[in-house]
Amino acid sequence: MKSVSRKLKQSSTFTQNHTGFALYDISAHKMLLEHNAERYFTPASNTKLFTFYASLKTLGDSIPALHYQVSGDSLIVWGTGDPSFLNPDLPKSKVYDFLKNRPEKIYFSNDNFTSSFYGQGWAWDDYNDDYAAEISSFPIHGNVVRFTGNKENGLDIQPKFFAEKTYNWSKSEKFSVQRDLGTNLFSYPAGKEIKTNYKQDVPFKTGVEVTTVLLADTLKKEITLINKPLERSTKTIFSLPADSLYKRMLHVSDNMIAEHLMLLNADALTNELNVNVGIAKVKETLLTDLPDVPRWIDGSGLSRYNLFTPRSIVALLGKIHEIVPEERLFKLLPAAGKSGTLRSMMKIDEPFIFAKSGSLSNIYCLSGYLVTKKGKVFIFSMMNNDFINSTADIRKEIVNILTEIHQNN
């Protein structure tokens, strides 16, 4: 490991930025190498590993979709934070048919939701970008409007409810759909060619009124908003296998799913839909044995307030490895050179890195599992903050270091 240690200290790629690294041998129960492993770094989407672990420990094999209570001819429903309802990127669940076919009049209560629509430290001007979909108790359509080009040089809009709120009066030179900051009005440039392969997801502005109206429009049934506390006597209907959410969250780094998984955790642990409350409870009950106390703010890693150390991430990955068989675990994580956000990381026939990347401006982190040439499984966390050279350069040097470890062990 001396050569790797030397590269970490002397590589020109890491000269001006902050780099931390930890490497752990699972079978030997031994830390093999540490470089600034005790220092705190902004993890970006490596935060999703914490959300993943919390969900593994808290949620079952299937995702709770909603809580409900029947009272006479009324069906009262409360959200759980489940992000799968009519989500265009997830399989269909039975929840739609459950609501559509109920004979009772449906009432929706949002009283158990005490979270904010944005996480602490999120950039407000990301509001139009698909990775910044808002947080809500009962997400619908992934909390985004999907715009796609059609053969008539127009836009197909899903859900169709937003079609009458979309106008072609923007004067932008580049074709894109732009939502007003505080309203659900969308615009796109007039007179611009719309290619048939065009696709853009734009977050819509959430709220109890929007949820109620969208539910009514989707189900073609009256939905009435009421204020009613969530009671312990409610029943729960489940939607999708949990792994279908975990895989998408980890493979494409889906922020919306990550945030709502933390709502689901909060719901299961406290009966309150609040990301901050869920995180606090998970830290209190599941993470007291980490080497360093994490500053954990949101479920996705969009917040720059998150701070973790490489050795704590390695410890977390060790806890995950103890409860998830490798065959399942390595399918849920992106494989370098083969799948997810790591597909183009390297060219290789047989992947040996299964990890979660995390990137924001001037930040790139990679944490996961490395299978050596001799078949050993190591846990690693490489965290890079405050660099001004390209992310591609950082990524390339990380690949060089991890490949050397793979080849020599």
pLDDT 10s digits, 124-163? 999 999 999 999 999 999 999 999 999 888 899 999 999 9
Taking only the tens place, the pLDDT of each residue in 211-255 is 999 999 999 999 999 999 998 889 999 999 999 999 999 999 999
Between helix 275-286 and helix 255-270 the angle, nearest 10°, is 70
What average pLDDT does range 324-336 have in this prediction? 98
Taking only the tens place, the pLDDT of each residue in 366-388 is 999 999 999 999 999 999 999 99
Sequence-ordered strand ranges (E) for 325-373: 353-360, 363-371
With b for 16 or more beta-carbon neighbours within 10 A and e for fewer, the 225-254 pattern comes to eeeeebeeebeebbbbebebbbbbbbbebb
pLDDT (0 to 100) of residue 170? 64
Q: How far apart are CA 154 and CA 82, in angstroms?
A: 32
Say if residues 354 and 368 touch (Cβ distance below 8 Å).
yes
Please report, as a single letter, which amino acid is at residue 144. V
